[in-house]
Every structure is written in structure tokens, then in C-alpha cells.
Structure 1
Amino acid sequence: MKENSKAIRTTVKILLGVSLLLVFGSNQALAQDSTKTRVVFEPLSNKLIPIFTADSRAHRLSFQKNFDQTSYTASMGGVFPFMNISKKKLFIQLSAAGSTYLTLARQNHAGSVQNIDFFGDLFCDIKISHLVNLRLGTGHTSQHLSDDALIAGNPFKNYAKDYHQLMLVYTPSKKFEKIEPTPNYLFFYGGISYAYNFKTYTDISNKILVQTGFEHMPLTFKNRMGLYYGADIKWRQENNYAYTLNTQIGIKSFNNWGKSMRLAIDYTLGTDERGYYQPTKRNFAHLGVYFDL
């Protein structure tokens, strides 16, 4: 755990240093020529890259009913842009993201929290062209049993990793240039996450996770609500590249600021997303409400 904390502190210091250099350099350029570089702190700005909603561990606020057992999944979090940097055709957005996921089991008219999974990320999103956006990120996740589960006699298992990631988001035509909240949007994404520090029972660092998916809204109602569907699949090296596939279909309501609410049903199959339970399989449907903040 000390090594994890040290790695996190080092990563945060590096990112803060880069951000300060960007701000200082941009302000110098701005003083010389206001048309070259512009740095704006915009905590309420629209996201350059949208939430990957079919990713069952995306940063968001959600509550889901699981149909394979008497349990619920809840999450608290979101992605929050805080700085936009533009220079001619280049546009960069820096964001902070964090989420907590937990499973609440219901037995004998009482609730019991099974697991608590924490996620924290820093994103640097770059507009490459009208069709392609690039995401560079660094983050940490720690996924463990809750006190309720440990008291019940379940064995302890460590699951913590620090990672870097690279993702590409592609829109197939200029018609879908603005991903959200434009109606009838379509986008694809794919990338890789590299866990440079990964601890379970032993040190299993230097593992990769490959992820790809898409989202499409073919039908809209009054330009603020629509029917959408999407899918997300991940392959984890530590599990011999076993997959986790999640598909989702639902109704989405959104506003001009890129915020949205979804009512959707999912079906997940493959390796359990919860780190403590990997590499066990879990195939189940779940109905939920999601808030993309």
C-alpha cells in the first residue's frame, strides 16, 4: 500500500507540474499574441470525450438492480473538466474523474455491502481532427471487500493498481462531429491501459487491458431525448485475456451542457468486473438509472 501511495503522489506531482508549465507557457504566449494560445478554467464546460456508457465501470452516478441475485449496484462519481487549452486548430481539455462502486446485497430484510471499488483518473483529451479525439490518462483503482463481507468470514484479497491509458474516439462522418448533445450521434472508441504497478496476492505489475466499444442514438424525440444502444468489451492480460462484454439499450435525456440521464437495461457476460471476484465468470442482466455529470 505504501508503494501504491508513493506512485500516486509521484504521478499527481508530475501532472500538476505539466499543468503549471502549460499555464505559464500559454499565458506568456497569450501576452505576446492573443490569437495563438488561450487557456480557460471552465469547470462547467462540455466534455470533449463523452462518457462510455456501456462501460460498466465508467465515472458516473448510477443505481442498478441485478437480476442474477438479490443485489443492487450503485456508483457515485463523474468526470469534471477544469481546463481548456486552445492554440489555432489544437484543442486540449484537462479533466479530473473519480468514482466509487459498491454492491448492496439484500438478505432477511436487511442490507449488506459486499464490495467497494474506488477509481480515480486524470485525463488529457486532445482534439486531433473533426473525426478523431485522443485521450491520455493516468489513474488508480483499489477494489476490496467491505467490512460487512469480512465480518461474514470472507477471506481478504488485495487488488490495487496504478495505470496509464491511451484511448482513441472516432466519429465516422462529419454529420456526427459534435458527439454530445447533438441528436443521432454515433461514435466508436478503443484503446489500451497499462498497469505499471499491480498488486493482488502477489505483484503482477506490467499488465495490459484492451478496451473497445461504441454508442449510437438512431432515434430522437424533440432533440432532447432519444433511444440509444451501445456495447463495451475488455480483455485483461492477467486473466489470460478473458473478456468482459456489456451491452446496453435505453432512453437518454440530455441538455445543452453535455449532462444526461439514462434509463437502460444491460446484459453483462464474461469475467466479473469486480476485482476481488476475478477471474470468476458472471453472466447477468441489470436495470438501472444513470446520471452522466
Structure 2
Amino acid sequence: MTAPKLHHYVPQFHLRRFVDERGMLWAWDKLSDRIFRSPPKGVAAEKQFYRLTQYEAGGHDPLAMEKQLSEMEGEVSLITDQWLNWLPQMAPLDKVPIPSINRWIVARFLAVQILRTRDTRELLSALASAHGGEPIDARELHTELIWNLDVVERLAKRFRRSIWVFARNESATPFVTSDNPIAFRSPDNRQWLRSLVLVPGAYLVFAMSPGAVLYCHPREGAFRKLSKFNDCLSPVVLDDGMVESENSGQVFMASRLVLSSRPEFEAERTFASTIGTDIYAPTTT
């Protein structure tokens, strides 16, 4: 078999959930302000992105990581497909049945998804350059991080223990995704957070499709009261403004591309113009 050359840092199963009626994604490049259409296989990917060059000379399979990621994606696709089939039929406060093994598989996926993106590679490269010393290959540094079981397990444990709440989007505004799809929001909901270190109290937001989102809230602090909603469909009815607010997280997190089932990105453009300003800062008296 031909070795895979184009490695996706956002799984194609996830991207395919955001396509239009022709099976295409609409992409907005927030850096160039360009909108274009692409099949899922053509975005959030790079040639040989996960190739293990540091082990290749020793005779080890340089595509071992890409193969492991593909196997994990297959499991998560099946599990989350079930959820997305169930959610439209559920009533608010109904519980999504999640066996413990499925919870662990998805928690591990969320952890790895945070680590595997182009955004994380760029952050690592910038940190390495700032410390000076011998030049470090960014791909090798990045793949070593993804393969660091201690890092992955600690992140996965946090997400597994979190309070999982699902929300259904029945508004006219679809959820969007991006080339860095796992977002984090501060406990007071005022800020999106981007860091290699998880901020205490922050919660995870993952739009699984245009019509459904998963929240993972820490069990400590203010979110403890949400324990009664664990694994449930939220009673909150999402309106267009609430969906646009969640979509702003994808604008903030994206390295370049925000991805949608439709070509309208006006709300995303508007939010992008506020990044780096204090327009959403807490008011003072």
C-alpha cells in the first residue's frame, strides 16, 4: 500500500460533519481574509506532518504515529456518531449513555487533539527559539510531545473526570469548526484561552457538528453545581447569539482557517477584529 503523505491534524471524520450539501467545506482564512471551498481532505493537513524522522534511521516505522492516530480516530468517530444520532431525539435533561471505556477513549482523543495541531507545533517552536541553544527540529519536538504518555494521560484524566454537558443547536446559525477545534473558556465566560498549560477552572468547548456541542466543565469551584447535568442534554435552548458566541472561540483558536457548512463569516470577521483589544474586558467602576 502507498504510504499516506498528507497527514491531517484535524481528523477528516470531524471535518466531514461540517460540509455543505455538495460535500464541501467553506473555509475562511482569517489571516488573508479569503473565503474558499474545499473538500475535507484538502484542509487542516500537511505532507508528512507526523513523520517520525528521529526514529527513521534506526529502522523504525516513520508512520507509526499517523497509524496510531488513524486507529484512535476510527474509534472516536463511531462513538460520537452514536451521540450525534441520539441527540436530535432526546429531551432536555435526558442522559447520553456513555460506558466508562467510551468516556476514556473520547477523553484521550480530546487530549491528543489539543496536542497534535499546527498551532501547538508553532507554539513549541517559538518557545524553543526563545530559549536559544542548539536548533531543534520542530517536527521532532512536536511528535515527542504527542507521544509523551504522561502528558496525554494527565490531560485525558482531567477531561474524563469533567462534567460533560451536551447542547443541541436548533438556531439558524450553525456551529463552525477550525484547524484548531478544541477551545477553552475562562470560568467567568469572558475570555477564550490559548496556552500549552491548562488554566485552572477553564472549561472545554468542542463543537462536534453544526448542530451539537460538548462542554467539559471541571468539577471544582463554580461548576460543581453542574454535576446533576453530567452526561445530559442541556436544558438551555441555544439562540443565534449564543451560537455566535461559541463560534467566536473557533475564530480565536484557529491558526488560520475557520470552517463552516456555509459561506457566511460576517460574525466571525467582526469578532476577529476585536482580538487583541479590551472590548470585552470587565468593566470597572
TM-score above 0.5, yes or no: no
- Answer 1 or 2: which has greater helix percent: 2
Structure with higher Rg: it is 1
**TM-score, normalised to structure 1's length?**
0.28
- Answer 1 or 2: which has greater strand percent: 1
Q: Which has the higher contact order (CA 8 A, sep 6+)?
A: 2
